[in-house]
A and B are shown apart, each in its own frame.
Chain A
Amino acid sequence: MEHIVIIGNGISGVTLARHLRKLSDKKITIVSAETDYFFSRTALMYIYMGHMSFENTQPYENWFWKKNNINLKKGYVNTVDTNTKTLHFKEGDTLAYDKLVIATGSKPNKFGWPGQDLKGVMGMYHKQDLENLEKHAPNKEVCKHAVIVGGGLIGIELAEMLNSRSIPVTFLVRESSFWNGVLPQGESQMINRHIKNHHIDLRLSTNLREIKSDNNGNVKSVILEETGEEIECNVVGLTAGVTPNIDFLKNSEIELGRGVKVNRYLETNIPDVYAIGDCAEQHEAIGNRRPIEAVWYTGRMMGETLAQTICGNKTAYNPGHWFNSAKFLDIEYQTYGWVFGERGRPEYEQHFHWKHEDDTKCITVAYHKNTNEFLGINTFGIRMRHEVFDRWLTEKRDVDYVIHHLAEANFDPEFYSRFENNILKTYKNTLQTIS
């Protein structure tokens, strides 16, 4: 019986294993050094905040794996020998495979800052990071102040986490406005205000120079690049993005770029070796997507796709219209299609922006300035229906149609205030001022 070994028990690897089991009776082994059982990384923050227990973050009960005949092996893979098709573990043992899938995800970026390996400096990605945070920042007495470096999605989650335990936070963001490499200006600035309203000390256009140590190798303070200001702190969160977690493959024959290089079938240069999820790097980006997509659902989709290929129905990875979501403290964010911030915005992309007067809800609709074709939407504080926008994008609707039919796409709970009329009115007024 063919033995499929998957390194990594995150969403990509586990989705692949589940679909393999549905389609076949192949021998399946999932290898992980992080945890015994699959848990949702996305929920790590809720454990620290006390919303959930660790058990609550496990989507499948512990009996699930045995019942579905999926072997779990806890171990850290040191090297992969693709000639003999063998994994060598740090613990000294080995494992032979017929097909190997690399699904090892990411690790937090470190940019060579002085002091980046001190005690109390951490990313927020693995379960071990959470344990580390719990050790260094159990409460505001032990951790009197924390500094977060990097204004992305994980950075703001870490800020929310520390905030829930009343630990004062200074949030260093390299950009001139929060996440404005992705978000258009109006939205980005609304989030700036929202962050400050949660008593988080947001420092824009600010970089880290170095992290200083006390006599015991613990974090003592950080020094800012621009002003040289020193901020005393006990914890430093490094959340300036992630990179593929593939150091263990450096001496293998598998072709690496920033990630594991794969083609559209998720195959590497070595036969019978595949890579999926955050650690896979497409030779060529698909549409506007990045070659490496560290997103929950793309990992899941790659798992769904590769299961077909491994079970004999060779299938290319073909993600549909871009979508994503996040939550910035109390404001939910969803996006469908492409809406660019200042950076990288195509010259033809025009925006219609509406913001509610309470400063917690807004939408931005991107459209083609010549054809009026609807390109994408960002929504804050209003839930939208994925299915409807996916269909409108496929049908290439124009911006007029979308604004007039927004009510169809609304996904807010019943009895919520609706803003479609208000949005439509603003839209018409905007058009008048333009023409």
Chain B
Amino acid sequence: MSNKLNHSMSLAKPDALGINNKQKVAVAIGVIGLFILTLALLNTNFPNQGVFLTLALSAIIGGTIWFSREAYLSKHEGIKNDGVWFKSISSRGILGWILGVVLTTFYIVLYFFPKYLGLGTDGEANTGLIALFDPLSQLLSGRNASQWFVYGTLYTVAILAFGYKFILKYRHNRYQQLRTVSVMFFQLGFAFLIPEFMYVMNNDLPYYDLKSIWPLNYYIFDEWSVKGFLSSGNIGLALLIFGILSIFVFTPILTYKYGKRWYCSWVCGCGGLAETAGDSFRQLSSKKMYAWKIERWLIHVVLVFSVIMTTAVVYTYLGYDKNEFWLTRGVFISLVIGLLTLIFTVIMIFKRQELAKDAKYGAISFFIAIALLLVMHFTGTTDHLFYIKAGALRAAYGIYIGSIFSGVIGTGFYPILGSRAWCRFGCPMAAILGFQQRLFSKFRITTNGGQCISCGNCSTYCEMGIDVRAYAQKGENIVRSSCVGCGICSAVCPRGVLKLENDSMKGRINSKDVLLGNDVNLMELVNQK
């Protein structure tokens, strides 16, 4: 930010609160891009699909870039939240609702009626929107597009274009810029390009986005997926091992050192979309106590569901005979129970105090889970578990959690529930990372002595609905399992109160009743616990 005197002595600000003429043109360009896609959706047959697809995507990206440059580059560096609660789109106004409905319908069609997008079934050629993307798919992997390719492309376009916007918006803040570059890189490379190239190298390999880790990636241990890896030689085996190491080794180490933000705000695609395209909606998350209560129940139920479901699915395709393959059903169930018991024991030994009354719920849940697994083992037949087909359990998870929760509600409801509804209420990966962040991590948000003025910018802009102010005004560090470490609370704080830090575990949680600055011996008197 340069503060050198501006010699234009105009008193009227160059930028009005509404959008300027250049921005109107930029919006028009973007809308034309979207319009081409809409025409394709309505089965318009474009003569040269490659040209029109290029045109459409360039218009969308170009329009967004131009709009953002006009919005931010003419202003001083700093917080750019003027009018957020006055704009229809970002305050649940009519534009917000329309966008929510459009996104939600798009997700419903995408997941459940892909033929309306033009997906060719039974070997027929694609039509409509999906056909428009055929040339790009052909270029990357030599096959026709699927609805997932269309979705993946649009998703990547959204993260790149809005990522650029976000970088300009926070051009005074290098933490925000770096993590945005990071999610843009992982989306473009890991989620979009690498899987296509892997297909070119070896078309038996199942689709595998390397950064998508179980249990977020709930299908990685499905039979078809594992068989796909195993039948693809060393590379397949390496990928499968990478998938297992990701959750059991890399994740705990990185989360210990940096908190869950290393994943949720720097790598993850869901987080990536929420932080870029969803940035305008972050203030809509509910900060109410009841929302927090719902969150804690819901996200852990999803986690338990995903663990049981995955165990059941793997269990059904394993055999009994250890001469056939060392990992038999008995060995597998023992491993799962062993791992759960290990985690439970470690927590109860080291963190009993911190959990307080939650420890009881934890213990009950643990024993229920173990009991379920044992029941499963001793009542299970080839494909029936708990007298339900494991496949049905898996299918239910796929539909209700994988599609409806994460997609339809998680993204479709951005303009209503805020940008991280899925990450907050549903993501099992976030639950695991959060659990560790709360108990075994160096990460915390430090508050700055007595400087907080309780203004509430931090809470307002917390996309996870954490009442950051409640901690800051007590001088207490924020150590919350749901915090994704986006760093926006620190950015919007007008008094320099919040700082994301990795430091020693000791004294990380520092509840205080009397803050620094009050020199009556109150600080010792009241704060000693």
Interface residues, chain A, with chain B CB atoms under 8 Å away: 11, 19, 22, 40, 42-43, 46, 49-53, 56-59, 61, 63, 139-140, 163-166, 168, 190, 193-194, 196-199, 201, 296-297, 300-301, 304-305, 308, 313, 315-321, 323, 325-327, 329-330, 332, 334, 358-360, 383-387, 390, 411-417
Contact = CB atoms under 8 A, between A and B. Distances in A.
29 contacts: A43-B455, A49-B83, A50-B84, A50-B87, A59-B469, A61-B288, A164-B83, A165-B17, A166-B17, A168-B12, A196-B6, A304-B518, A305-B518, A305-B522, A320-B518, A325-B451, A327-B495, A330-B1, A330-B76, A330-B172, A359-B2, A360-B1, A383-B496, A386-B449, A386-B517, A390-B516, A412-B499, A413-B491, A416-B174
Contacts of B13: 163, 166, 168, 199
B459 A56 contact: yes
A290 to B, nearest CB: 16
A332 B3 contact: no
B178 A415 contact: yes
Q: How large is the interface on B (under 10, 10 to 19, 20 to 34, 35 or more residues)?
A: 35 or more
A52 B450 CA distance: 23
A50 B87 CA distance: 9
B85 A168 contact: no
Nearest to A358: B2
B453 interface: yes
Contacts of A11: 454
Contacts of B453: 40, 42, 296-297, 325
Contact of A359 (B4, B81, B492): B4
B346 interface: no
Given A43-B455, A46-B455, A317-B520, A304 B500 contact: no
Nearest to A167: B13
The prevalent SS among residues of B at the interface is loop
Contacts of B448: 383, 385-387, 411
Interface of B: 1-6, 10-17, 76-79, 81-87, 172-175, 178, 283, 287-289, 446, 448-451, 453-457, 459-460, 469-470, 473, 487, 490-492, 494-496, 499-501, 513-520, 522, 525-526
B499 A315 contact: no
Contacts of B454: 11, 40, 42-43, 59, 296
A325 B456 contact: no
Contacts of A332: 494-496
A414 B450 contact: no
A413 B175 contact: yes
A387 B522 CA distance: 16
B289 A61 contact: yes
A358 B1 contact: yes
Given A43-B455, A168-B12, A330-B77, A316 B3 contact: no
A366 B218 CA distance: 60
Contacts of A201: 11
Contacts of B78: 329-330
Given A40-B456, A304-B522, A334-B451, A194 B82 contact: no
A57 B175 contact: no
A424 to B, nearest CB: 22
B496 A411 contact: yes
Nearest to A301: B518
B489 to A, nearest CB: 10
Contact of B513 (A19, A61, A140, A313): A19
A100 to B, nearest CB: 22
B450 A297 contact: yes
Q: Which of A51, A304, A321, A330 has the most CB of B within 10 A?
A: A51
A205 B460 CA distance: 39
A173 B317 CA distance: 79
